[in-house]
Amino acid sequence: MRIIVAIDIIGGKCVRLTRGDFSTKKIYNEDPLEVAMEIEDNGLRYLHLVDLDGTREKKIVNYRILEKISSKTALTIDFGGGIRSDDDIRAAFNSGAAQVTAGSIAVNDPELFKRWLSAYGNDRIILGADCRNRKISISGWTESAGEDVKDFISRHSEMGVKYTVCTEVEKDGMLKGPSADLYKEILEDTRINLIASGGISSLKDVEDIKAIGCEGAIIGKAVYEGKIKLKELRDIC
């Protein structure tokens, strides 16, 4: 299982939110590159970089930070937040992203999403499947698309999507454990490489996600709050 450490960006700084609420913003480091280098120095290889400014602006904003991290580390980066147009996705890949996470666009412009899947390949496009009470959430988790998350993932798997990252919004940043039952249900019914995100608070949570069969686990707040050490995650990889 891939261990993927998250860095969320607002105003050029490394932050975390709770349940996607911008009013809960907490700054952990003024320099995201410093955090990325610490991740790499501890033997981890994967980074989930989220442009929260881009999520609000509905266009990529922090591509320069992506460019800096990709040029100064060897981390494999998946980038998300504000990817809404051909210009956005080109900027992300040209700035060093190995993969791009696209969620809102899959709902609002499915034809464009399909075109990206065909143009860039299913190894490089990750379906964002975030949900609240099982219903897909989009636009920075401010809107509900109304579709059940399992149906959403299954439908996109059938069209060729290989990877999906699934966050249960109500668990994000709460440090009360991941949505293990939901992930198990999704994996039982689809052939998707599922990346778990949200709620992970301990090494046991990570091991539980691994046992279910998730392809990856995104870990953020637990690292920043000192509940899990980077070197401990390295030993799980």
Q: Does the pLDDT value for residue 237 go beyond 80?
A: no
> So what's the pLDDT on residue 33?
98
The answer to whether 172 and 19 have CB atoms below 8 angstroms apart is yes
CATH superfamily of this structure's domain 2-236? Aldolase class I (3.20.20.70)
| Domain definitions of the chain by residue range | 2-236
Q: Does the pLDDT value for residue 35 go beyond 90?
A: yes
Cβ within 8 Å of residue 6, ≥6 positions away: 47, 48, 49, 50, 197, 218, 219, 220
Confidence of residue 142 (pLDDT cuts 50, 70, 90): confident
Question: Of 201, 161, 210, nearest to 183 (Cα)?
Answer: 210
C-alpha dist (Å) from residue 231 to 5, 39, 143, 195, 209: 12, 9, 37, 21, 18
Residues recognised as catalytic: 8, 130
Average pLDDT over every residue of 13-38: 95
Q: What is the DSSP letter of 171?
A: G
Distance CA 205, CA 160 (A): 29
Residue type at 122? Answer: N
C-alpha dist (Å) from residue 136 to 107, 117, 160, 183: 9, 20, 19, 14
Distance CA 204, CA 202 (A): 5
C-alpha dist (Å) from residue 63 to 5, 60, 99, 129, 229: 18, 7, 14, 22, 28
Q: Does the pLDDT value for residue 73 go beyond 90?
A: yes
- Mean pLDDT, all residues of the chain: 95
> What would the two tokens of residue 156 be?
């996109």
